[in-house]
Structure 1
Amino acid sequence: MSLSPQLRDAAFRWIVDDFDDDSKQELQMVVGSAMAGNDDAVAELSDRMNGSLTFGTAGLRGIVRAGPNGMNRAVVARTTFAVASWLTANGHGGGIVIVGRDARHGSEVFATDVAEVLAALGFDVRAFADPLPTPLVPFAVRQLSAVAGIQITASHNPPADNGYKLYDNSGAQIIAPADREIEAAIRQAPAARNIGRTRGWREIDESVVDDYLSRIGKIHTGESRKLRIALTPMHGVGGEIAVKALRVAGFTDVHVVREQAAPDPEFPTVSFPNPEEPGATDLLLALAGKVGADLAIALDPDADRCAIGIPTGDGWRMLRGDETGALLGDYLLSTLDTSAHPDPLVATTIVSSTMLKSIAAKHGARYAETLTGFKWLVRAGDGLVFAYEEALG
């Protein structure tokens, strides 16, 4: 396989337009190997340069690497410039934008790039100081009346990946035509080295996290419960917040998997950091058995998925997403304040079980099905009190 002049020139243009020395050097090495006749390098360069990341079910995701088809500082800067252009075109120029991140490779510098580009374009940027669960970003969007929220995360993807989740002013992830409009704006964005940046942004006050925990506490009465819980954040960012949330709800006997408690972008104890994957919850269930837990909880790395394990006669079993969704839906509808929610709606996706439909009928609630992804579930209709999908969301 030979290196075409077009591919070579595209790579050189990207290198010139990039502002990150590490990325420039990385791509230069690949180009050099390709020019020397290395077929693998030619194939890799083609993969990096032909195409670009697109908004999928949950935003942009890709391998952290140089080139338009990877997650890197140049791509983040150009994407953020495009988001700013789209917001301005839709009447939101200069508004508040929330910025958050997980603890993956590159997340801190990517989040800083997002904040600095938006600030230079006149937006009122509020950024979380520390890596925190993804759900805090859409929560902060609504709490602070922001025009958008951006979370740097690849959720439960492999360690080499990172991503870019975008929320609109309702706290929902974007859908068509917004995603295609932003992708078109990315193609028109300036070279990354020509995009301005400034440090003029503010950290989000801790009161937002306190408000989030307080809201969680309202779901449960908060009295002390004699329930022993084993928990793993799976090397992600949800451990501390999850323990605090459980305590607010009255659950104080919580045991965290020590080997997986601290954020670690390498996810060293699991082959794939997704609670659905075989073997991912082995350490959790071992701890649950050791401490005599009544319940086991596994979060994914950005803490927007939750898997539940229960004891059986011969060990432990992780519930399927549909089982957990049905149990939570029945509980919430059973305890719902009908004076505040006289016409409640529950929802799930077309690939999930229909158990929730029967549960809704039993409680006199409305039921809806949507396409896959929470960007659709949150738009299921007015009066939505509960939604889930089988993939543990």
Structure 2
Amino acid sequence: MDWKETLKKWTSNTTLDEDLLKQLQQISENEQDLEDAFYKNLTFGTGGMRGMLGPGTNRMNIYTIRKAVEGLALYLEENVTNAKARGVAVAYDSRYMSQEFAVETARVLGAHGIKSYVFESLRPTPLASFAVRHLQAAAGVMITASHNPPEYNGFKVYNEDGGQLPLEEAAAVIEKVEQVPDELQVKVESQATVEEKGLLNWIGSEVDTAYLANLKTIQKQTSEQIKENDPLQIVFTPLHGTAHDLVLKGLKQAGFSDIHVVKEQAEPDPEFSTVASPNPEEHQAFEMAIQQGKEIDADILIGTDPDADRLGVAVKDGRGSYQVLTGNQLGTLLLDYTLSYTDKSERANGYLIKTIVTTEMGRAVADYYDVGTIDTLTGFKFIGEKMKEFDQTDDHFLFGYEESYGYLLGDFVRDKDAVQAAVAASEVASFWKTQGKTLLEALETLHMKHGYYLEGMKSLTLKGKDGAEQIATIMKEIRENPFEEIGGLRVEKIEDYQSSERLIVETKDSEKILLPKENVMKFLLENNSWVCFRPSGTEPKIKSYFGVKSPGKETSEHLLEKLQNDVTTRMDEIIEG
């Protein structure tokens, strides 16, 4: 259907939501905005869907939510045992329309006779995963757009294991969603009706209490030991999101008492009004925490993104200020500490799980402790999928992380968990403080032991229909005319995850990549360096990842800069044609 016909279908619908109709009227003279809102259906991908709020089939609104839930309901009815009675756990964050979308989810599920368990107030994403497992639900839904700008929201789906949908299950759900003929005609029950029928059940502190009990199990030191240590001064910012209550309860339960919350960022705020972006990966998000940290001479600053699945940490830099650690750096510190406190017998069948764009220093640390490493595609759903496989074997999960500030220590959650990570990072900082070291000094100790690994990431945003075409062109060009060298380093292997082939450049031999197919290209260079290209699945971006290793910091920094400059030049050339 032509986008103008779809627009006409919406505007001629006499029951169209009044707010959405008003928004359509406001952009009625802007053909470009109208086309972008209606030229396609908002993509429901392997991780759910995410997009800008507003009217249209390519926007997040009650109708696109209903369509997604209708597809999920049809999938559950056909594929999950006793799905109607087991129900769906639903959580939501602090964004515009999040609670409304959670209720819409319950209304559509209720029309199918499927129970829903909806949190009575906002909760972190890991609580959605935990709730599925704790309630033995058939599935889970999280309404969130993570750290995207305020105009975005999203719909994330978990399976009965509490993990994000693996590819096969996701494909089956996507098929059902795409079969829904008309998002405007999805049947819904009223909120009052589903509540009266016991199909919408509000849940609260009982799930939090169970989660906090499990949170104790990730501690390596007891709360009494931590209380006896030199007190750790902590500054915490939830960046206007969902983490405030659970992180504070978790830290206090662990034995920490000197916790200072950034007051201006403590309350939920869908505008994220004190930051340019509510993303702890971006250092500007720590400005207020750094200011407060200087005032009280804090040992560690911790910040969570709005849905509290990602954690950023800043530590004293020895020059009177604070340095924000990368996700690779913090993950490696957490990994080393975790494995150092893990019995040798438990390490024997245990594994580190990381993604293909996460630092290779993690593998070096795991090797040091005789622990195996498993690589997955980018995205914590693949880490969760591997964890589920362990349920059927003698192997077990010890630690999982990805470079984009996602970590997991305890398998009672099957997605990245900033609440766990906040408690664990504070414990690691407390341990190293007893050794007379900051986390930066601890990291230097690890570099001296394993080598100077350094990573980087460049993100190129290309919005709209034209941007999507440019991203496709870049990937096509890199695939068809691959690099022979990058930054003066020879390409030794080329990994094409779309064809599942690894080419050995010198011999022209190829190997099979035993991972699911994905539109990713990775170049393995001499001297343990690498570059990887991947279009984002949730944002209009193409991301370039870089990794180097050398004996020293300056050499690694120089190598990294050369790699990044070469890639930037090549991308500019492709875009300019």
TM-score (norm 1): 0.92
CA distance in 2, matches of 1:158, 1:304: 16
- Give the conservation status (yes or no) of the 8 Å contact 1:235–1:263: yes
- Give the conservation status (yes or no) of the 8 Å contact 2:347–2:369: no
Kindly tell me: are residues 307 and 278 of structure 1, through their superposed partners in 2, closer, same or farther at Cα, counting changes over 3 Å?
closer
Partner of 2:76: 87
SS in 2 for 1:211: helix
Partner of 2:8: 12
Cα deviation, 1:184-211, whole Å, max 9, x if unaligned, reads 3223224434412233311124221111
Report which of the two has the higher share of helix: 2
Higher relative contact order (CA 8 A, sep 6+): 1
CA distance in 1, matches of 2:80, 2:130: 22
Partner of 2:405: 392
Kindly tell me: are residues 330 and 122 of structure 1, through their superposed partners in 2, closer, same or farther at Cα, counting changes over 3 Å?
same
Q: What is the one-letter code of the residue matched to 1:331?
A: Y
Partner of 2:184: 192
Partner of 2:139: 148
- Give the conservation status (yes or no) of the 8 Å contact 2:347–2:371: no
Q: Root-mean-square deviation (CA), in Å?
A: 1.9
- Give the conservation status (yes or no) of the 8 Å contact 2:242–2:307: yes
Kindly tell me: are residues 18 and 155 of structure 1, through their superposed partners in 2, closer, same or farther at Cα, counting changes over 3 Å?
farther
Kindly tell me: are residues 215 and 18 of structure 1, through their superposed partners in 2, closer, same or farther at Cα, counting changes over 3 Å?
farther
Cα deviation, 1:306-365, whole Å, max 9, x if unaligned, reads 011110211110111111001111111122356667511111111110111111122221
The yes-or-no answer on 1:117 pairing with 2:108 is yes
The yes-or-no answer on 1:25 pairing with 2:38 is no
CA distance in 1, matches of 2:148, 2:111: 31
Kindly tell me: are residues 168 and 356 of structure 1, through their superposed partners in 2, closer, same or farther at Cα, counting changes over 3 Å?
same
Deviates more, 1:337-346 or 1:291-300: 337-346
Partner of 1:37: none
- Give the conservation status (yes or no) of the 8 Å contact 2:23–2:55: yes
Q: 1:267 aligns with which of 243, 265, 272?
A: 272
Q: What is the one-letter code of the residue matched to 1:202?
A: N
The yes-or-no answer on 1:72 pairing with 2:61 is yes
SS in 1 for 2:51: strand
Deviation at 1:86, TM superposition (A): 1.0
| Unaligned segments of structure 1, at least 5 residues | 34-40
SS in 2 for 1:65: coil
Partner of 1:371: 377
CA distance in 2, matches of 1:193, 1:21: 16
Q: 1:322 aligns with which of 323, 328, 331?
A: 328
The yes-or-no answer on 1:100 pairing with 2:91 is yes
Partner of 2:174: 183
SS in 2 for 1:174: coil
SS in 2 for 1:135: helix
CA distance in 1, matches of 2:127, 2:186: 32
CA distance in 2, matches of 1:140, 1:335: 28
Kindly tell me: are residues 340 and 208 of structure 1, through their superposed partners in 2, closer, same or farther at Cα, counting changes over 3 Å?
farther
- Give the conservation status (yes or no) of the 8 Å contact 1:369–1:380: no
Kindly tell me: are residues 165 and 18 of structure 1, through their superposed partners in 2, closer, same or farther at Cα, counting changes over 3 Å?
farther
CA distance in 2, matches of 1:390, 1:125: 34
Kindly tell me: are residues 188 and 27 of structure 1, through their superposed partners in 2, closer, same or farther at Cα, counting changes over 3 Å?
farther
Kindly tell me: are residues 222 and 339 of structure 1, through their superposed partners in 2, closer, same or farther at Cα, counting changes over 3 Å?
farther
- Give the conservation status (yes or no) of the 8 Å contact 1:18–1:193: no
- Give the conservation status (yes or no) of the 8 Å contact 2:235–2:262: yes
Cα deviation, 1:225-274, whole Å, max 9, x if unaligned, reads 51110010011111111111111111111001111010100011111111
SS in 1 for 2:27: helix
Q: What is the one-letter code of the residue matched to 2:355?
A: T
CA distance in 2, matches of 1:222, 1:167: 32
Partner of 2:32: 43
Q: What is the one-letter code of the residue matched to 1:263?
A: P
Q: What is the one-letter code of the residue matched to 2:400?
A: A
Deviates more, 1:68-77 or 1:333-342: 333-342
The yes-or-no answer on 1:237 pairing with 2:250 is no
Partner of 1:38: none
Partner of 2:438: none
Cα deviation, 1:84-128, whole Å, max 9, x if unaligned, reads 001112134313210000010010101110012112211121111
Q: What is the one-letter code of the residue matched to 1:86?
A: Y
- Give the conservation status (yes or no) of the 8 Å contact 1:239–1:261: yes
Deviation at 1:56, TM superposition (A): 4.4
Deviation at 1:159, TM superposition (A): 0.5
The yes-or-no answer on 1:289 pairing with 2:294 is yes
Deviates more, 1:224-233 or 1:150-159: 224-233
SS in 2 for 1:376: helix
Deviates more, 1:68-77 or 1:371-380: 371-380
Partner of 2:207: 208
SS in 1 for 2:64: helix
CA distance in 2, matches of 1:252, 1:267: 27
Q: Identity of counterpart residues, as a percentage? A: 36
Kindly tell me: are residues 380 and 171 of structure 1, through their superposed partners in 2, closer, same or farther at Cα, counting changes over 3 Å?
same
CA distance in 1, matches of 2:16, 2:111: 16
Kindly tell me: are residues 286 and 116 of structure 1, through their superposed partners in 2, closer, same or farther at Cα, counting changes over 3 Å?
same
- Give the conservation status (yes or no) of the 8 Å contact 2:46–2:165: no
CA distance in 2, matches of 1:136, 1:127: 11
Kindly tell me: are residues 171 and 268 of structure 1, through their superposed partners in 2, closer, same or farther at Cα, counting changes over 3 Å?
same
CA distance in 2, matches of 1:9, 1:232: 47
CA distance in 2, matches of 1:116, 1:271: 35
Partner of 2:356: 350
Q: What is the one-letter code of the residue matched to 1:68?
A: T
- Give the conservation status (yes or no) of the 8 Å contact 2:350–2:372: yes
TM-score (norm 2): 0.64
Report which of the two has the higher share of strand: 2
SS in 2 for 1:307: strand
Deviation at 1:164, TM superposition (A): 0.5
- Give the conservation status (yes or no) of the 8 Å contact 2:128–2:141: yes
Q: What is the one-letter code of the residue matched to 1:354?
A: E
CA distance in 2, matches of 1:57, 1:77: 18
SS in 1 for 2:285: coil
The yes-or-no answer on 1:135 pairing with 2:141 is no
Deviation at 1:19, TM superposition (A): 4.3
- Give the conservation status (yes or no) of the 8 Å contact 2:20–2:55: yes
Query: Superposed, which structure 2 residues align to 1:333-344 within 5 Å?
Result: 333-336=339-342, 343-344=349-350
Kindly tell me: are residues 122 and 292 of structure 1, through their superposed partners in 2, closer, same or farther at Cα, counting changes over 3 Å?
same
Deviates more, 1:148-157 or 1:43-52: 43-52
- Give the conservation status (yes or no) of the 8 Å contact 1:17–1:193: no
